[in-house]
Amino acid sequence: MARLDLSQLDRYIGFIKGEDIDRFLSEFNIKLASGTWAAGDFSDRFMRGGYNPDIDTSIVGQLKRIREAGFIAYVPIDVQFKDRNLRIDWSVVENVKSISRELELKPIALAMDISGVNMFKHGSIANPCEDLRKRALEVLTESMDIAKALGVDTVSFWPGQDGWDYSFEVNYGKMLKIFMNNLKELAIRAADRGLTLGIEAKVKEPREGNMIIPTSHASILMAKRINDELGKKVVGITIDYGHELMYAVEPAYTVYLAKEFDVPLLSIHINTAKTHSNDEDRVVGTGDLWQFIDFLYATVDIGFDGWYALDQFTYRMNPVEGLRKSKLFFVNAYKKALLLYRYRDELEKLREEADQGKILEFVGEIIYSK
């Protein structure tokens, strides 16, 4: 990769910490942001009142914590700018813009997530009720106005409640058709506004059966078809590392799959989950390190130059501490990916020889030392 002078890696021997963390990110042009939701508070069905009930849970409080944790960029959620009737509260938009300037924080995309709006508990643009589908389309279109006002060029849509809990609950064919038609309509509206539309897959949760986009294989297929029909690349995907592990695919493979089918990889959500588990959203880099570094390597190898955004829920940790730890481990894992990439010709040669022992030793030496 021409833009990187990988010989500079020699300056980062051992565990990167302190001021070297930001130096590393800027030196290698790595873009790291945080979702506002990752700054807390966090609640679940066991602790409905939240795990940190004393913190400021407003978007302003979240932005302050993201800044305090040493971040320069963030991704907000559309509903944070809307009132109970889902009308945009422009005073919040203006306030967030001014606080962002003050904190020197930059919004880099807008997450569109209405899965927490009770009215849409049976789904948004694939809701069984036509009136609610129309309303969801309207609400999401209005969200694009927020994106424009914030000056971001990507909206990322995660249809968490569109799906089913039980076998036979829905006609999958009908639901898919409705979803695809409305997704295309959303894409057209995004394009009209100069925005790209990201879609994020997840196999389940909150839906207990499947979500309408259960895997990135499906999101790639959906994006591809709509882009082909529109004759331009409006729809891309967001890969959530933990979501890939939920259905036990190789996350690095998904990165190459999007590339192979010419579907834009618009952003990457990072966190940690166990294979075939729930969406744990734990601190980055605390799981299978080989697999995570392999994933980061894949993003470097395909030339991904977008944002990695923390999508985590560190329930029993102070959110600022959780964000800091993820940044710390992300940087150190990324260094390993770059070290491997520096010697990629050698690695590729070993791969061609199909000598597993040599490949493992080559990779292992970098992962376990340096």
Pick the closer one to Mn ion by CB: 12 or 251: 251
Under rule CB under 5 A, residue 311 binds Mn ion = yes
Dig out the tokens for 120 from the structure: 């849409």
In the complex, minimum distance from the CB of residue 342 to Mn ion, in angstroms, rounded to a whole number: 30
Distance CA 227, CA 280 (A): 32
The 153-192 site mask, x for binding Mn ion (CB under 5 A), equals ----------------------------------------
Among 240, 244, 279, 294, binds Mn ion (CB under 5 A): 240
- The answer to whether the beta carbons of residues 359 and 347 sit under 8 Å apart is yes
- Site for Mn ion, residues 255 to 284, rule: CB under 5 A: 269
- Tell the residue number behind the tokens 């990167």, with chain if given: 16
Pick the closer one to Mn ion by CB: 313 or 362: 313
In the complex, minimum distance from the CB of residue 80 to Mn ion, in angstroms, rounded to a whole number: 16
Q: List the one residue out of 297, 279, 257 whose CA is nearest residue 42.
A: 279
Pick the closer one to Mn ion by CB: 144 or 239: 239
In the complex, minimum distance from the CB of residue 240 to Mn ion, in angstroms, rounded to a whole number: 4
Pick the closer one to Mn ion by CB: 126 or 239: 239
Under rule CB under 5 A, residue 78 binds Mn ion = no
In the complex, minimum distance from the CB of residue 348 to Mn ion, in angstroms, rounded to a whole number: 31
Dig out the tokens for 71 from the structure: 């971040």
- The answer to whether the beta carbons of residues 207 and 163 sit under 8 Å apart is yes
Distance CA 312, CA 280 (A): 8
Site stretch for Mn ion (CB under 5 A), options 42-50, 87-95, 304-312, 343-351: 304-312
Burial label for 359, CB within 10 Å (0-12, 13-18, 19+), is middle
Q: Cα–Cα–Cα angle for 293, 107, 51, nearest 5°?
A: 70
Which residue ranges make up the site for Mn ion (CB under 5 A)?
A: 240, 269, 311
